[in-house]
Every structure is written in C-alpha cells, then in structure tokens.
Structure 1
Amino acid sequence: MKKSFFSTVLLVFFSTIYAIGQTGGSVEWPAYGNDPGGMRFSPLKQINASNVKQLTVAWTFRTGELEQYKGSNADEKAAFEATPLMVDGTLFFSTPSSRVFAVDAATGTKKWSYDPEVYFRQDFSEVTSRGVSIWPAVGDNTAANAPKRILIPTLDGRLIALDAKTGQPIKTFGNDGTVDLRQGVGNISVTSPPAVIGNTIVVGSSMGDNQRFNYERGVVRAFDALTGKLRWSWDPIPRTQTDAGFETWKGASATQTGAANAWSVISADAGRDLVFIPTTSPSPDYYGGERLGKNANASSIVAIRASTGKVVWSFQTVHHDIWDYDNAAQPLLFSFTQNGKIVPAVAVGTKMGHVFILHRETGAPLLPVQERPVPASKIPGEEAHPTQPFPATLPLLGLQKPEAWGPTPEAKVQAQQRISSLYYEGPFTPPSLQGSLIAPGNVGGINWSGMCYDPESGLLITNVNRLAAAITLIPRAKLSESVKNDQALMRAETGMQSGTPYVVKRSYLFARDEQGLSMQTAPPWGTLAAINLKKGSLEWEVPLGFMYDPRKYPESRQWGSINFGGAIATAGGLVFVAASLDGHFRAFKTSDGSLQWEVPLPAGGQATPMTYQLNGKQYVVIAAGGHAKLGTKLGDYVVAYQLP
C-alpha cells in the first residue's frame, strides 16, 4: 500500500517538475480536471488576490458553432460545456457538435480543426461535449516517445483518435481512426471525455431519460489506446445469478432494466491501476417497480481494475434510486489526513448535497456514514428503500427544507399554495400520484459541475444548486383525463416510462413572469461553498451570481443563481467560476469566499474554466457558449484572460 501511495505522489511531483521545467516556465492543464483524479487545482500563483482585478482579455477564439445547427433543432438543446486541455503550448477542446479545435495557447490562433460531421437530425437528449482527452497521459513514461493522440467521443456514439499535431485521424486506431461505440449497445451518446490510464481508454455513455424501462445497457468499456480494440466491458446491472449484486435486483423484469450508465467524467489512478466510475439511476428514473430491491452498482461510485475490468469495490450513494439522483460529478481523488496519517481518498459529491469521503483502495468511509430512515412510497407496485446513506459529520449542501418565496406578496402566496398542494415528508420523499416536492431536485445539490480541492488549505469547494422539483406519477390509463384537467401538468416535462404503469410529469418550483424565472422557494438559489475537511465543517458559503435584475432588485446579488459549470482553485488563493445565469465570470478568495473579480462574458459561461502558464505568463480560459435549456445566451467563444 505504501509503495503504491508514494509511487503516485512521486509521479505527480515529477510531472509537476517536468511541466515547470518546460521552455519558458510552462505549466500545463493536461486533463479535464488538470490531474486524472479531478482535483481541478493549479499550483500557479502569478494571478492572485492582490492583482486579479487587473485581468484583461488576452485573446478570444470563435468556433463558428452556431452555423452548425442550421436546419436542425440543435440550438434548442446545445450547451458549450467544454474545458480545454493545454499541452505543448496548444489548447485542445471540443464544441457541442463534437468538433475538435487545436489553438495556439499564447495567441488564440487556430492550428487545426476536425469535424466528425455529426448528423443533427437524430433525436439527441443533449447536444454537448465536455471535452477531449490526450494520450499518453502526462507523466506516463511508458509511452514517452509516442506521438500524442487527441481522443474525442462523439454525440453520435463514436470514439475517434486524432494526431495531436495535425488533427488527422489515426488510421491504425479502430476503423480508420474510429471505434463505433453503438455497435452491440444501441443508441447512445458520449458527452464527457474518456479516462486515460496507461494504454487503456475507459469510456462511459449518455442516453435519454424516462421514455421506457428497458433502456440501452449502461456499459462502461475499455479500449486499447493504440489499436482501438475492446479490452473489457462492464455492465453496472447484474444480468445473471452469478453476477455480484444480482440478489438486489428483484422482479421478473429486473434484468431487462437499462441505464445505470456513467455519463459523467471517470477518474483514474494509474499507480493503483484503478478507475472510478460514477453511475446513474437505472431506467426509468422515477418508478422502480420493475426493478425492486437495492439495485447494487446503480447510483454508485465503483472502483474497477483498469487492466482487467474487475470490480474492486462499490459504494452506493442512493439505494433503489427513484429520484434521478445520478452521480453526476467526477469522483475527486486526493490525499486525506486522518489521525496524522495520509490516506488515499476519493471525495464523492452528490445531487442530494451529500459529500462522502471514501478510502480509495477499499471504498470504506473515512468519515462516518449513517443509514437513516426515509419515507415509504405510496405508489402501488413501488417499494422505496427504507433507509438512505447520509454523511454523519459533514454539512449537507443544497435545498434541504423548502420555504415559500416570491418577488411580490402575490407571488409568494402562489408559491405557498403550490408547495402546500405537494406531498413532502423531507429528504427522499418518493414520487406520488398527488405530486411530490423533491428537494434537492435532480439538478442538485452538486451536479456535473463537480468539486475542486485546494490541498494547501484543505478546502473542498463546490458550486451548489438550491432548486426543488415537483414529480407526479400518472396512471397510464388515466393520462388523458389527468392532463386535460391540469394545465400545470400540460406545461411540465413528460416521460412516458413505457413498460411501467405510470407516466411521469416533472416541473420545477418556479413560475414564468416578466423576469423570466420567478423562483418559488427561498433564496439563495445557487451558492459557492467550501468544506474544511481538516475540521469537518462548512468553512464558508456565498451566493453565486444573480437571476433578477439588480437595478430593480438590488438584493438579488445575495440571492444567487441556478448554475451549471464547475470551479477551479489555484495556489494564488483564488477560485474561478462562471456557471450562473447572469453571464459573468468570477474569482473568489479561497480563504473566505469573498468576491474578488467579475466580468461579463460574451455568452453564457456554463463550463468549467482552466488555467495554465506559457512563456512565463499565466492565463485563465473559459468556454462561453451558453446553455439552450437554461436560456442563457448562445455563442461560440473561448476567452483567455491575463494580467497586463
């Protein structure tokens, strides 16, 4: 164990020394979360709290993405969520249409681009790509002389390997540079970059929600980085009696259940030969009568041996998930100090606002976890699990107890009436025929935006949503009558949940008015929070962004905003984040959460930023392309900031 731990520490140390020692004092950002374990921390400190207010635009690059959507409805689902990589003085990133760009990191000048020509008239649930990966991973000396490859998983289910220098497909990879991920699986997409560990590429999948119970299988697969050949495949759902956890999937139809897929970012620990898979709820999200039981491996963090595909351990964050509580955040690998000893750990942040700290090698909780009683389901055919895991000592984030609110007295009365009409018995209130208030809702808590960790202060930092959902199950036989008599249900999202007795209607606790969204639960609706893992307490929590016009509602800056897109931390004592609906990019002081800098972006900033140093100068970069479903301004910008 010690050998493995210290070998990993040395690998990180020498990788950092290698990066700093490059020409001109370059420090790269070689993976989605900077390191393969997703800490999203940079050792750079040229930009710090004393000078961050001086940041100016260094360059702006435009991808021409909106032109790609013409003749389709892609602009109704598109979100520019990519985090660029910086390696060898070049930025590599993808657009929502899975196009890949290589841009000079100093000037923002295009070096090359590649278009996989995704056909947009397919029925995509989301039109997005959170980024690309690079092989070999930085610090992997086993392939030190190999030409670098950019790996792009596409919206239409392909994995493509490109030459990092030219952008041309590697012909010896798969079929002329492409592996068909839909072969033998079905109609899947991939929206997050794959994990790279040695010569193995590990990739998950994304699929729509709530249309039927027997969705595509949520397999996680590993491919050879050189040839593209399949090395192993792992299905989160046990299909035979010999599969581990089979007894926790009950009912004649349980083995036909789909999903439990990994659509978020997978973390890797090369020193331990482990990948950490964040799995989702099984299909459909809001009714589990066809898959009774605990549903092992679904809504879990699963550690898998990268060389063999064998499960090492599994920790379930939600038992029998009927709330769409996917594990959306990348598992964060870091060193945790316990009883004076350094322990390899993984931090798990969930949509419920729970943070679990687990031993990286065993999955055992390093901080106490309690199984607490939760409400039973009143739906015929459903059996909610009687208990759910809660962190016993860490603070709970997100909306835990909804209170009615409105910008006017009349709006507040309407909010109170709506809340009173819904069934609510606290956290993990199950869906109901009456309509249930679910808090936190399925957007978090902590969503795909994820967390970052500052090892110098011991602070785990994350942006948080505080938005409740209203979930109603309608007996299929009564669907027409129910919808006809309820205008609110007509406006809600519909999931047919074919193969089950119920259709689901989902809406959120806001109304539409001249402001756009009129929230019906008390603010703040979005925050940036820091948990002190040395003390096990909330260090600070501050509002993130605003949703109402500050000229009309000056206090709206204290109300926060719904947010998508993560934060990064730097040794300069700063946390950079955009994410909010107001279209600003901000820097907060790591120690106390005080706002240090904010600037408007040319389009919505629903992406996680990154930072790097090149030729002795530090840059901070963010993709600003908006989020159609959230209603933020669409665009095609990548913006870099620097000190004068």
Structure 2
Amino acid sequence: MRFPLSTLATAILIALVALFLAGGGLWLVSLGGSWFYAALGLGLLVCAALVGRAHPAARLVFAAVLAATLGWALWEVGFDWWPLATRGGLVVLLGLWLLTPWALGGLRRWDGARIALAATVLVCIGVAGAAMLRDPHVIEGRLQAQAGGATAPDSNVPDGEWHHYGRTLAGQRYTPLAQVTPANVSEMEVAWTYRTGDVRGPEDVAETTYQVTPLKIGNLLYLCTPHHIAIALDAETGAERWRFEANDGLDPNRQHQTCRGLSYYRDASVVETDLAAAPTCTARVYLPTSDARLIALDALTGAKCAGFGDNGTVNLWANMPHQQSGFYYSTSPPTIVNDRLIIGGSVNDNYDVESPSGVIRAYDAMTGDLLWAWDSGNPDRTTPLGPDETYTANSPNSWSVFSADPALGLVYIPLGNATPDQFGADRSPAVERYSSSVVALDIASGAVRWVFQTVHHDLWDMDVPAQPVLIDLATAAGTTPALVQATKQGDIYVLDRRSGQPILPVSEVPAPSGAVEGDWTAPTQPVSALSFAPEPLREKDMWGASLLDQLACRIKFRQLRYEGRYTPPSLQGTLVYPGNFGTFNWGSVAVDPVRQVMFAMPTYLAFTSQLVPSDEISADEQVNAGEAGLNVNAGGKYGVRMGPFVSPLGLPCQAPPWGYVAGVDLRTGTKAWMHKNGTIRDAGPLPLPPIPMGVPGIGGPLLTASGVAFLAASIDDYLRAYDVATGAQLWQQRLPAGGQATPMSYEAGGRQFIVQVAGGHGSIGTKAGDYVIAYTLPR
C-alpha cells in the first residue's frame, strides 16, 4: 500500500526530532540529568514508525506522549508561561498536524484515537491559556509616599540644573523638578533632536558604546561622544554652541571606547555672576580621553585652558608602570569637590598580568597640579611620586563614577578587581583588602577612612561597578548619613557613610570551595539583607525556543561546574550567575531623598568562564577582542574564555524574565514591587513582535520629585516612564538607536526637559547612533 508523501514526510520529521531527543537525552542522563528527553525521544520514535505505516494507533500513542509531556512540564515549572510553552510548543504543533488527514494517509474519520489526540491538544491549549493569565515573577505593591528625608550633599545645585554625573555629588539621579507628573507624562513629545556625527564604525572595538549623561549649567548642555568629542548645546533649542575634538584615534588594544560624561567646575574666587564677563576658563569642563589624557576646556567657548597642566592637558600615564597603548584610560568623568579633581581609570581586564596601576589621583582643579595619589597596592602613601617612581602595577582600579560628601570631607570610590580576574594566587595583602570594595578617602589627603568589601578574594570579575548613592536616611536611630551601593552580584549594601558600618544587616554565608591548583577561595562571602541576587539555577531552569535547544542547554549546564553563586573558576568551565555583566552595572540606581525610596533595574544573565592553561592557547584562536571570548592574561598561568551562557540559537539558556524594574523602601529595605521590563522587539536581526518578556539592559534610571521614573537601558530601543509608587508603565517613546545611557532632566524657558542619548552599545548589539533627544510637555 502506498501512502501520500505528506505521511512519509511527517514520519521522517517526527523521527528526526525523536532521534535528536533520544540521543541528546541519553547524553543528558549520562551526565546525571533528566531522563524525560530520552523517554520522549523513544516515544516519538514509536509514533514515527506508526505514522510511516499510516496506522490509526499513531494518534493514540502521540496523545499519550503529549499528555506525558504536559504532566512533566507542569511538574517542572507549574503555570509559568514561557518555560511551559517552550516545553510543549513543538510537541503540540506536531499533534495539531497529526490531527489533519494529510498527516496519516488521508484518514479522515474521527475515531477514538483522533478524538483522544484532539482532547489532549485542547487540554494543552487550555493550560497554556491559564498560564498566560498569571505571572509568578512579579511583585505587586505600592511605595508609600512619605516625606521626611533630609537634603543631600551638594544640594545647592539649582533645581533646574544638573552639575554632576548623577546631578549632585550624592549621585542620586534625582531632580527636584515636578512639572512632569504621572498624570501628564503621557503627553510628552520630542522638543529637539541633535546628532553628534560620531557613530560606531567597522574599525571600532566591539565595546564601543554611547553611555553619556549630559550636564546642564546655565543655558548650556555639556556632553561627550564615544570618540571623545566634547560638545556644548543650547539647553532650550539643542543648537550646537561649540565642539572640541580630542583626536585620540582608534586603538585595537582598547577594551572599551566610551565617554560617560564631562565634569564641570567654576572658580569660586571670581565673584562675577556673569560668566561672559569673567576671565577665560573661570568656568570649565573636563574631558577624559581614551588615550589617557585629561583636558580642561573653557565652558563658554570650548577652548583649551592653557593654565591647566601642560597647555590644558594632564597626562594620566605619568608614573604609570607597564605603559602599553590602549591598556589604560578613563571612561568615567572625574569627580570635582573642594577644588579637587579626583579621577580613576579603566585597566584592560585579563589582557596582560603586567598591567598599569589602578591609582586614584587628585589634581588641583585650576592648575592641574597633582595633590595626592591613593594606590590600593600601596595604600599608606598618598604623596606624589618622584619622576622616576611608579605606582603599584596591577592594583585594583576604579572605572566607574565616584560620589562625595563635602561636609564629611570624604570621596567614595567603587573599586574593581586586579587582573587576572579569575586567578588570585599572587595577590598582595593590600590587594586582598581593597579588591571589589567601596572605599572612603579623605578629600584633602587621600588617606583611607574606611573600606567595605563586597566580595572576598574575587575570582569572578565582580567589580563594584556602580556609583555609590548618598542619602540622609530616616532610621530608628534618627537621620543617618547613608550610602547605597549596588553590586554586580545583586546585593544592595546600605552603609553609614561616616564609618562604612552596615545600616541594613550584612551576614557572611558559606561559599563553594575548590579553586584550581595554587589558588584558594574565601570560606564565606557577604550578603546584604537587601538583595536582588537570584535563586541558584537548576537544570529545570534551562530554556530554549524549543525542546531541542533547551536540551542542548541542559547538557551544557550539566557539563559546567556550578554549585551556586561564587562557584570557583575551573578548567572544565564554570557557570557564573549572576554573570559579570552584573545584576547592576555602571547605571547604578536612582534614589528619591524625600520619599526615601529607590528605583532599580536588576538584570539576570548567566555567564561562563573557563580557565585555559597558557601553554594550551592556540595561536589560531582570536584573543583579546573584548571582555568576551578568550583573553590570554599574557605572562600569567591561565588565560580565560568567557561569554554569555546561551543556546545554539544564541538565546539565553536560562528561562526569562531577564530584566526587571523594582521599587524599594530604603527605610525598611523591603521591595514594594518588581515588574518585568522591556520587550524582545529588537532582540534579533529582524524586528520581532514587542512581546514583554523582561529583557536585559545596561544604563541607569532617573527619578523626579513628582514620582515619575525614566529609563531606557533595555535591549529594545525605547525610553519609558514609570509611576514610582506602583511601577506601572505610564509612557514610552521609540528611540532611533539603543538607549544605553542614563537620562537627565533640567529646566529651560520655564519648561522641564528630559534628555536621553541614543547611540547603542557594541557588546550587547543594540543599534548604533549619535542622537541626543530632548522631550518636554506641549506648550
């Protein structure tokens, strides 16, 4: 008897799926994983044989297979839509096709087998519909709008201006302006758009990103571009007033090519209120460059300030060891406090064990003279070095943004790790003390006043990435000067900024052991009472677009070493979760000092790291092409191969959501609400449906006094507004490129503006651009 080609094709299709599941499933069982994939594959092989013969029992067997799949899926993930859908989707689609007469030799009658299969498919669809009606990942609640907070450091910044990266030295990303409210934010429209002309090109390094937050002083906005062009714009119209190009060129050795912002300073000794009549460079902005210069520019004209350093420039390579082009530069703006310009620098991770120093330096803001230098590898000496001396090589560096409290005389430094990040056998006691910590330095002398470490013996690249946020916090003991520190691992530390002592409890918990030969692990790691750290991953948390790539992720999960957070790096490969992309990164969090609340964007992506013995590194493999891939740690015992934990299709191996927005009451340390954030619209090479899965992002939020939060950051190209009290999304605007920069707000001409830079992010693949966009309410 001959059967239609459609029947034969159906049998072949089911057999191919079955063989993949059976073979991969047996491999997974051999690794100690779930038996279900192998069993499902065998069941589908039986179905394929019956379909090939157009046997009526094929539908009955498939109904049993589908029912078993549904039961297994519910047992593993319950009514969680995305994990449930990808477990059953492929099998349900095959079941729907088997219901057609063409799939089974033209059999059209509704016999018991066909009815059983139809009923099973309907049950699956009903379960899927029920799962879509609930979301087990959200927290619903409300932040109570209770005033009573005190003013923050440097609160003398005029309400309508933005003088520092986070508006004030407190780094709160909060504006006292309240013209835009939850009631009218939906009416916001584009006021003006400016294009810088600086767009990521084919010769740029992978991590070429546009992350700038502009400043606003007087009637001018000040910003920089990834290739270090400083620009001043008219705040009301967006018209260009001046432009300065640093001409720092391209260098393939650079791990990053970005500029997060400029810094502003005004000489307080000049009494004129009209800057136009004041001497040149009375007011100035400072531009750090990717070839390790710091340039002072007149704030009104963009001309170099000749009296600063050497004809307007300070050379940050001074006294540096191991001076390799592209291995040291400052990606973040310096902090200016008490007439001191305090700056750190970014050091390439894992390129070379002979790396420059992570020294923090303070310069006279007018002359550029070096006043003090704090080197975490030699922390007790802060006086300037002689011309033939060098700072400690490879000491922990600070590539992010600082905060400061002028009244206390302290500047707060978030510190990173020492290269190599994943092997710490040769670190000094000083490095062990200061690595991955927040340090309070005396503004006048650079001396250490206190240090709080967030990871002991960091082997995971868990730099403290975010600007510390200062707030005067209402506590049971009265108003306490507090510091809020977000970390990559998801802990939010709330400390007394006078002493570094925790306000919210911090405990030490046991950590996995078993580092590679010659290294060691810390027996415990700190955990804050306020934490967005995710639950440890399990095999059933693996995900994929279908059962097939989900199975591949399960096999990969079982092959990697993973014992929860802080599993040591290994030769076999280690799963790092949260990954070194961070639960939080340089975007930090936003804090309302009046309501005493925090708005945050936690992100969840697992990464992998594998130590590679230096004598096994192939000359044919591309190395040192960014933070991902193989970095050789030249001169060291091991290189490291790192990257996101993804399926063969390039999707995250862990189930969504991958990104949230959250609201926290800082007085109690409780999460009031937490919602999925962002869609997959821009997650592929072609536009996808804007499905709100909760996607990762990098960037920071903005809070307004009226209770509106603004955030772009996510991998879909939108700027969004949220009600801070409930987390409800109030408004969104499509961006012409990736919005991986923190928005800011100011007043001009009696109107409140919100400005978002849209230029994209190289390593997360968002669309490149050169846009500066201002939004406001209609007149």
TM-score (norm 1): 0.89
Partner of 2:705: 571
Cα gap change, 1:191 to 1:552, in 2 (>3 Å): closer
> 2:486 aligns to what?
349
Counterparts of residues 452-531 of structure 1 (less than 5 Å): 452-480=590-618, 493-511=629-647, 513=649, 517-531=650-664
Q: Distance in 2 between matches of 1:318 and 1:270?
A: 28
The alpha carbon displacement at 1:413 in A equals: 1.3
User: Which of the two has higher C-alpha Rg?
Assistant: 2
Which of 448, 465, 470 is the aligned partner of 1:333?
Answer: 470
Partner of 2:555, secondary structure, is helix
> Per the alignment, do residues 318 and 339 of structure 1 end up closer, same or farther by CA in structure 2, a change over 3 Å counting?
same
The count of corresponding residues between Structure 1 and Structure 2 is 598
Within 5 Å, give how 1:41-440 maps onto structure 2. Answer: 41-66=174-199, 73-74=203-204, 76-121=206-251, 123-136=253-266, 145=272, 147-185=282-320, 186=323, 187-238=327-378, 258-291=394-427, 295-391=432-528, 393-398=529-534, 400-401=536-537, 403-440=541-578
Letter in 2 for 1:233: A
Which amino acid in the other structure matches residue 411 of structure 1?
Answer: D
Q: Is the 8 A contact 1:237 1:298 kept in 2?
A: no
C-alpha distance in 2, partners of 1:75/1:376? 36
CA distance in 2, matches of 1:178, 1:499: 33
- 1:310-341 deviations in Å (ceiling 9; x for gaps): 11111111111110001110011111111150
Q: CA deviation at 1:554?
A: 6.3
Q: Which moved further from structure 2: 614-623 or 523-532? A: 523-532
CA distance, structure 2, for counterparts of residue 548 and residue 585 of structure 1: 14
**Using the alignment, how far apart are the partners of 1:237 and 1:552 within structure 2?**
49
Q: CA deviation at 1:549?
A: 6.7
Could you report, residue by residue, the CA deviation over 1:181-205 in whole angstroms, capped at 9, with x for unpaired residues? 1122134111101000021000000
TM-superposition CA deviations, 1:219-259 (whole Å, max 9, x none): 000000110000000111238xx779xxxxxxxxxx97614
Per-residue deviation, 1:11: 6.9
**Which residue identity is paired with 1:300?**
S
Q: How does 1:531-546 map to 2 (within 5 A)?
A: 531-546=664-679
CA distance in 1, matches of 2:677, 2:270: 43
Extract unaligned runs of 5+ from structure 2.
Answer: 1-149, 273-277, 383-390, 622-626
> What do the CA deviations read for 1:418-437 (whole angstroms, capped 9, x no partner)?
11111111111111111111
Contact 2:152-2:471 within 8 A present in 1 as well: no
Aligned-partner residue type, residue 435 of structure 2: A
After superposition, the Cα gap between the structure-2 partners of 1:9 and 1:594, relative to the gap in structure 1 and judged at 3 Å, is closer
Secondary structure of the corresponding residue to residue 420 of structure 1: helix
CA RMSD of aligned residues (A): 2.4
Give the corresponding residue for 2:140. none
Q: 1:530 to 1:143 in 2, by over 3 A?
A: farther
8 Å Cα contact 2:154/2:406 also seen in 1? no
Q: Quick check: 1:607 aligned with 2:744?
A: no
Residues 256/498 of structure 1: CA separation in 2 closer, same or farther (3 Å cut): farther
Give the 3-state SS of the residue equivalent to 2:554 in structure 1: helix
Deviation at 1:532, TM superposition (A): 1.4
CA 1:524 to 1:129, structure 2 compared with 1: closer, same or farther past 3 Å?
same
1-structure distance, mates of 2:343, 2:486: 21
Percent identity, please. 37
- SS of the residue aligned with 2:346? coil
Amino acid at match of 2:319: G
Q: Out of 358-367 and 180-189, give the one that drifted further.
A: 180-189
Q: Deviations over 1:607-633 (max 9, x none)?
A: 000011112100000111111221111
Task: Say if 1:492 and 1:505, in contact at 8 Å, map to a contact too.
Answer: yes
| Structure 1 SS opposite 2:754 | strand
Cα deviation for residue 175 of structure 1 reads 0.7
Instruction: State the one-letter code of the partner of 1:151.
Output: Y
Q: Which has the higher strand share?
A: 1
Alpha-carbon shift at residue 552 of structure 1 (Å)? 9.7
Report the CA distance between 1:497 and its aligned residue: 1.7
Does 1:629 pair with 2:766? no
Structure 2 partner of 1:250: none
What per-residue deviation string (whole Å, max 9, x for no partner) do you get for residues 327-364 of structure 1? 11001111111115001011111000001111111111
